[in-house]
Amino acid sequence: MEQNTRGPRRARGSVSRNRVGNWQVRYTDPHGVRRAAGTFQRKADAEQALARVLTAIENNTWAVLDDTAGDGLDPKTVTLREASKLYTDNRMNRQGRSLSWNTAAEYPRLVDRVLTALADKPLRSITARGIERWWSAAYQEAPAQASKSYTHLNSVMKYALKRKWIRENPCDIEGAGNYRPLVEPETPTDTEVALMLELSDQPMRTVLALAAHCGLRKGEILELRRKDITTEEGPDGTSWLYVHISRAVVWEGENNPKVSPPKTPGSIRSLAVPKTGGAEQILLERLQEIPEHPETLLVSRDQAGKVHWGESMLNPRWQKLRAQAGYTGRFHSLRNYHLTWFAQQGATLREVMDRGGHTTPRMALRYQRSTGRETSLLGG
């Protein structure tokens, strides 16, 4: 619903439904800045809140209303848990879309399980010293989760500061949100990858080939369709198989798949399938097995190719195969395996970024790993 008012300020706003079913209020302030004015369970309440804001703008009393936290919350007593919910409901990702279901569900989990000591405290009572005490205990117990939780806490405090619910951000622990494990995630060996491919049946073999030999993410693989696999002439004049990635599937619960653009703008890409490793033959075999319709999923629960695989289909097969191969790492490390291999073939940082669908060099640099071939590189 879009409500417009007529007058010199041309106040404008909207009410829209977010991913979790609540109603969000957004409006343009007198300075032309787009703002949120709360999230409500009932549409009628959201419309009333929007009307109040627009009226305040017209009557030059907007600054008074701007000090409300939304949902009838008092900025003086709003808790971290309440502020986190408002932040999550109103936050957009870098592409200007609502957060994915997985991300939106993760924030309350962090508040409940990791930020427990601070969760129900009013924001204005949370001090830098209190955060330091929480951080010290949380980091000792689970450093990765503590770092992720601190990043969320800092974001919520910035959100509160921008809305003048607090006077300063108490998060000032340098480097707390930049945790990096001392041990790199385990990447499979060539032998382990080959063995998993040999032991697997279709369509799991296709899943493994796309991850280990093309570097696709899980959600990208499970949304690939027949139309996304093409045979084209490469720059060298020979025929190459290409995989075109423009979508990914995210599961909002086991029975609710959501198809959306992939993780980043750079993730929309077309990849040549390597001539080595057997991936090309595996994909061609899979295309022979599935229906001819262009929308047919490469990996599906049904023979018609219309129903996505979920975690309940993928995980048991993955756990069994990796155990048989003697590998103990994560599924995502198959992607690491491919991009590391690609870098070691001499690919530039830009080429690794493009193939992996990364938007910053920082992520792609992970695949510039030591190979133990120092002497051969030096001519020894």
The tokens for 106 are 């993760």
Inter-residue contact 268 to 245 (CB < 8 Å): yes
Tell me the average pLDDT of the chain: 83
Same domain, 243 and 319: yes
One domain, residues 121 and 217: no
**Residues 32 and 134 grouped into a single domain:** no
Q: Which amino acid is at 364?
A: A
**Residue 292: in which H helix or E strand, if any?**
none
**308 and 241 housed in the same domain:** yes
Is residue 373 included in any domain, yes or no?
Answer: no
| Spatial contact of 26 and 14, defined as CB atoms under 8 Å apart | yes
User: Are both 245 and 195 inside the same structural domain?
Assistant: yes
Q: Within this chain, do residues 213 and 283 fall inside the same structural domain, yes or no?
A: yes
* Virtual torsion, Cα 144, 147, 151, 154, nearest 10 deg: 150
Domain count, the chain: 3
CATH number at residue 154: 1.10.150.130
**What proportion of the chain, given as a percentage, has pLDDT over 70?**
82
Phi-psi region of 38 (alpha: psi -120 to 50; beta: other; left: phi over 0): left
Are residues 243 and 353 both part of a single domain?
yes
Structural domain includes residue 380 = no
pLDDT at 215 over 50: yes
Say yes or no to pLDDT of 232 above 50.
Answer: yes
Q: Are residues 234 and 286 in the same domain?
A: yes
Residue 374, domain member (yes or no): no
pLDDT tens-digit series, residues 119-130: 999 999 999 999
pLDDT in tens, 161-209: 888 889 899 999 988 888 776 556 688 999 999 999 999 999 999 999 9
* Within a domain: 299: yes
Domain that residue 21 falls in: 1-66
Q: Are residues 288 and 157 in the same domain?
A: no
Query: Residue 225 forms beta bridges with which residues?
Result: 297
Is pLDDT above 90 for 40?
no
Q: Are residues 48 and 31 in the same domain?
A: yes
Q: State whether 228 and 362 are in the same domain.
A: yes
Task: List the CATH number of the domain containing 51.
Answer: 3.30.730
Last-in-domain residue among 128, 147, 182: 182
| Domain end position, chosen among 143, 164, 182 | 182
> Which contacts of 45-48 are long-range, i.e. CB under 8 A and separated by 24 or more positions?
46/15, 47/1, 47/3, 47/15
User: Which of 33-37, 67-71, 147-151 is predicted most confidently?
Assistant: 147-151
Res. 218 pLDDT band, cuts 50 70 90: very high
Q: Is 284 left (phi over 0), alpha (psi -120 to 50) or beta?
A: alpha
DSSP letters along 120-162, please? TSBGGG--HHHHHHHHHHHHHH-HHHHHHHHHHHHHHHHHHHH
CA angle 114, 116, 120 (to 5 degrees): 145
In tens, the pLDDT along 249-302 reads 987 766 778 888 887 777 899 999 999 899 999 999 999 999 999 999 999 999
The residue from 11, 35, 66 where one domain ends is 66
Q: Please state the pTM of the whole predicted model.
A: 0.63
Across 358-374, average pLDDT: 61
